[in-house]
Structure 1
Amino acid sequence: MSDTPVKQNTAAFYGQSVASFAAAMAATAIGIYQLEADPWVRAFLGIAVLYLVTSAFTLAKVIRDRQDASTAHSYGPFEKL
C-alpha cells in the first residue's frame, strides 16, 4: 500500500476555475443574445448550452467517481487507516 499524500487543489486554482467557467458562460450568453436570429433560435441555442454544461459536469463526476473507486481500498473494522 502506498502512503502517497492526496494532492489538494489550492484556493487560487479553484478561484481561477470558477472565474473561467463564469467568463465562458457569460460570453456564450452574450453571444447568443446578440445573435441576429429569431427568438426561438436563440432559445434553442441557450437550452443546448445548458444541456452541454450539465452533461460536462455529469461526465466529470462519473470519471472522478470511477477513478476514486479504482484507487480506494477496503479496510476491515479492525484495520488501521
Structure 2
Amino acid sequence: MTKPIQPTHTTAYYVQAILSFAVSLSSVAIALIYLPASGWVKGFLALGLLYVVTSTITLSKVVRDRQELSEVSSRVDQARLDKLLTQHDPFKVDA
C-alpha cells in the first residue's frame, strides 16, 4: 500500500503567514485611528474590520475541516480497496 505524500509546511511559512496577518491587521487599525472622521464612523469601520477578520478565520476552519474530511474518506476507501485486493485470488476456481 502506497501512502499519499502529505504536504508539509516549513516554520518560515508559518512565520510569514502570521507576520502577514499581523502587519495587515495592524496597518488597517492604525489607519482607522488616524482617519479624519468622527468617532461613530471609526467605530463602524472597526466593527467591519472585526467582522471581516472573524469571518475569514471561520472560512479557513471550514475549508480545513472539509479537506480533512475528504482525506479521511479517501483513506477509508483506499483501505477497503486494499482489503478487497488482498482477499481476491484470480487463480481460485469456484466449484
Q: Provide TM-score, normalisation by structure 2.
A: 0.72
Alignment partner, residue 92 of structure 2:
none
Structure number, greater radius of gyration = 2
Alignment partner, residue 57 of structure 2:
57
Higher helix content, 1 or 2: 2
Structure 2 residue runs of 5 or longer lacking an equivalent are 80-95
Supply the distance in 1 between the matched residues of 2:39 and 2:61 (Cα, whole angstroms): 33
Q: Aligned AA for 1:33?
A: I
Report the Cα offset of residue 46 of structure 1: 0.6
Alignment partner, residue 11 of structure 1:
11
Q: Aligned AA for 2:52?
A: L
- How many residues align structurally? 76
Supply the distance in 2 between the matched residues of 1:24 and 1:48 (Cα, whole angstroms): 15
Alignment partner, residue 23 of structure 2:
23
Report the Cα offset of residue 2 of structure 1: 4.6
Structure 1 residue runs of 5 or longer lacking an equivalent are 76-81
In the TM superposition, structure 1's runs of 4+ consecutive aligned residues that sit over 2 Å from their partners are none
Q: Aligned AA for 1:65?
A: D
Supply the distance in 2 between the matched residues of 1:7 and 1:42 (Cα, whole angstroms): 42
Supply the distance in 1 between the matched residues of 2:45 and 2:19 (Cα, whole angstroms): 22
Q: Aligned AA for 1:43?
A: G
Q: Provide TM-score, normalisation by structure 1.
A: 0.84
Give percent identity, aligned residues only: 40
Report the Cα offset of residue 68 of structure 1: 1.0
Q: RMSD across aligned C-alpha pairs, in angstroms?
A: 1.8
Q: Aligned AA for 2:68?
A: D
